[in-house]
Amino acid sequence: MHRVASLFASRSNDDSVNSVQLTEGISSSATHIRYHAGTSIWKQRTMLEKALLVLVATLFFVIVVLTIILHSAEHRIRESRIIHVQSEDALPCLNKSCVHIASNILDAMDLSYEPCDDFYSFSCNGWVKANPIPDGKSTWGTFMKLEQQNQLVIKHVLEQPIDNLKSKAEKKAKLYYESCLDANDTVEELGAKPMLDLLKKLGGWSITDSDFNANNWSFQNTVQMVQNKYNIGALFAYMVGEDDKNSSKYILQIDQSGLTLPTREYYLNESEHAKVLEAYLDYMTKVGVLLGGEPNSTKEQMQAVIEFETRLANITTPSEMRRDEEALYNLMTIADLKARAKFLDWRAFFEDAMRIVGRKVTSKEKIVVYAAEYLGNLSSLIQEYQSTVEGNITLNNYLVWQTVRVFSGCLSKAFRDAYKGLRKVLMGSEGGEEPQWRYCVQDTNNVLGFAIGAIFVREVFHLDSKTQAEDMINNVRNAFKANFAKLRWMDEDTRKAAIVKADAISDMIGYPEFVRDIKQLDERYEQLEVRSDAYFVNNLNINLYNLKKNLEKINEPVNKTTWSMAPSTVNAYYTPTKNQMVFPAGILQSPFYDPTFPPSLNYGGMGVVMGHELTHGFDDQGREFDKDGNLNHWWENNTIAAFKNRTKCVVNQYNKYKINGKSINGNQTLGENIADNGGLKAAYHAYLNLMMDKPEPPYLPGLPYNHKQLFFIAFAQVWCSSVTKEATALQIEKDSHSPAKFRVIGALSNLKEFSEVFKCAVGTKMNPKNKCEVW
C-alpha cells in the first residue's frame, strides 16, 4: 500500500560548411576552360555567349549578396537568444565522444521551433520524427530505448549454457526465461488444462462448471484462497509494510483494490468509455469460452461481473482525493476492522495468511486501514449480493475471474490473443509484435529481478559510476538545502528541520550489495521452485513466494536499506517511510549519465532525476514524513498553510495543459509536478556551483549553445517520446506523472533561470509573467 514515488529529422547542416562547399565547386569548374596561346578568350566568344556569361555572373553576384544578408540576419536572430561565452578563436571539443554527443543532440532537435515558444518541440521533435512508435507498442521514448539495450545484455547471458552462470539464483532465472520462451511448445500443448486444474482447486466456476452449487459455496474460503494462496488483490489488498507513524516496525496494512480496468472512471463514465467496456466484456467472454463456457451464458455472467465491478468503482475513492497521508491513516485492531467491515471474519482470514510464516494472530493485532470508508461500503455491497443465489454466483464469478485474468497470460497463444482487443482500445496497440525473447527478458526481470541484477551489474556497470553518482547527489542535495534560505514562506524552525531531513535522506546507488554475494543471492531465492517446462506453475509459485517474503517481515526489524526495484530497471524512486532514494544501475547510463559527458549533460539528465527524487521527500505527501520516515506533524501551521497555497498554483497550472482535448489532472499529478520543478531547480544550481570559478568547457561541434543552455536541452531530451492517443488518455486517467511534454514545459516555464539563459521575453509561452514556485 506504500506510496513509493518513482520517476520514463534530419540534422541541420551548418551554413558556413555549405558556403565553403559552394565556393569550392565554382573554383574547380573554372579550371575546365581551355586557353589558347596568344589569343584572348573573351574575344573568341560570340555576342550571345558574352551576354549569357554576363547574366550568369550577375546572378551569381546576387546569390552571394543574398546569402551574406540572410546569414547575417540569421546570425543576429541567433545572437538574440544564444549567449556566446567562447572567444572567437576557441575550438570546439572534437574528440570522438563530443562529436557523437553533438550528433545525437542535433538529431533530436527541431530548430524550426523557437525555444522560448515550445522548448519540448525545439528539443525533441527531431527525435519524435525519427523514432516512430514500433509495431506492437503504445509508447516509445528514451527510457524504452535504454531498456531495450539492457535487455540485449541480459539475453546474451541467459542464453549461455547454464553451467556458465555464477549462482543458483541466476540458474533459476535462466530456467524461468526458458519456460517463458516455451521452445518445446509445452504451453501450447497444455492449452487450458493448467487453468482448469486451478479452477477445481478454487471450488469450481459457474461459467465453466454447470454443476456449480452456490448453496455449498463459501465466500470466506474463496476469498482466503484467492488472497492467501494465489496473492490476488480481489475486493481489497493487504500487505506487511513499515508503520507510517513508527517506521522502525512492520505492521499489517489494508487498502482498496479489485478493479480490472485501470481506473474507476472507465466504469462510471460509460458514455466516454463505452468502447472500453465493450472490449472488456468481449475479452472476458473469449477467455470464459476458451475454458469451456457456453458463449451466451458466459457473456451474460461476465456482464454481471462488470456490473459488480462498476459498483465497486462507485465506492472506490479517486486517487486525487487520497493525497493526505494523515487522513488516510487509520490504526485499529482486527476486532475494530470486523466491526467496521462485517463481510469477512478478519481474524480467521489473517490467521490463514500468517499460517504461511508460522505466526499466530489475535483480535488485538494492529492493522493500518487506508480505506476505512471503502471497506464499510464494501460490507454493505457484499451483504446485498449474498442475499440471493444469483448474487452469490456473481461474487464467485468475480473472485475467480480476478484469478483467471492474472494467470491467463501464462496459457497458450489463444488466451494471450484474447486480450489484444482490450489492449488495442486502452493503449492504441494490440501488442505482441516484438520478439518473444524481449517479453521474456522483461518478465524474468519482473519476477527474479535481483538475480537478473547480478548479471547486469557484472556485465555492464562500472563501479566508479557509483562514486561519481554519489558526488553528484551530494552536490544536488547541497543546492536543494541552500535554496531553503530563499524561501520566505518557511518559518525558521521548519527550515532547520527540513535541512536535517534532507541530510538524513539515504541514497542507494547501482545495486544492493547482496547481489554480488552469491551466498546471499541464493538464499533470497532458496524457497522458489522453478522449472524450464512449467511456465504456468512457475507463476503460481512466484505469487506465493512473493506473498510469503512479504509476510515474513512481520517478525523482523525494519531494514531501511532494502530495495524495491531491480538493479537493471531504467527508473528511480523515493520511499517516505525509509526516507530513502534509489537509483538503479539501469538508469545510470546514457542519455541520463555517462562519465565521458560534460557536466552540463550529466546534471541536466541524471542530476535532475536525483533532484526529482530528493524533492519527493518534500512534496505534498512526502513532507508529512519526518527525517526518520514517520508520519508526523513536524511543520509549523503557518508554513503548512503557505505551502498549500503554493501548491494550488501548481495544480491550477497543470490543470490548464491539454493533450488531444483532454486536460491533465493537476491534483492527481501534484506530487510528481512538485518533484519535477524542485528537482530541475536543484540540479541546475548544483551545476552552477560545480562550475563556479571554472572556465567554460569547449562547446560541442555544430551546436551554437553554451553549456548552461545544453543543461536544459539535455533535461528536455530525456523526455523525448511518442505515445498513441489511447495510451495518452490512459496516462491522464491513471498516472500520477504528467505527460512528457508538460514535464518539460511545466518545469522550465516556472524557472526564471531558464528564461535568463535563453533570453526569453516576459510573456512568451516559456516565460509567463506569473510563475509557480514551491521549492
Mind telling me the catalytic residues?
613, 676
Q: Which residues pair with 369 in a beta bridge?
A: 254, 330
Give CA–CA dist 325/623, Å, rounded. 10
517-530: b (≥16 Cβ within 10 Å) or e? eeeebbebbeebeb
**Residue whose cell numbers read 522483461:** 442
Among 615, 605, 667, 613, residue whose Cα is nearest residue 773: 615
At 140, which helix (H) or strand (E)?
strand 139-141
C-alpha cell at 500: 536535517
Give CA–CA dist 584/572, Å, rounded. 6
| DSSP states along 663-723 | E--TTTTHHHHHHHHHHHHHHHHHHHHHHTTSPPPPPPTT----HHHHHHHHHHHTT-EEE
Is the peptide bond preceding residue 591 cis, with omega within 30 degrees of 0? yes
Contacting residues for 451 by C-beta, under 8 A, at least 6 apart:
167, 169, 170, 172, 173, 521, 525
SS3 labels along 615-664 = HHCCCCCHHHECCCCCECCCCCHHHHHHHHHHHHHHHHHHHCCEECCEEC
287-325: b (≥16 Cβ within 10 Å) or e? bbbbbbbeeeebbebbebbbebbbbbbebbeebeebbeb
**Alpha helices in 39-165, H assignment, sequence order:** 47-79, 96-108, 119-130, 142-158
Label residue 640 left, alpha or beta by phi (over 0 means left) and psi (-120 to 50 means alpha).
Answer: alpha
Is the peptide bond preceding residue 318 cis, with omega within 30 degrees of 0? no
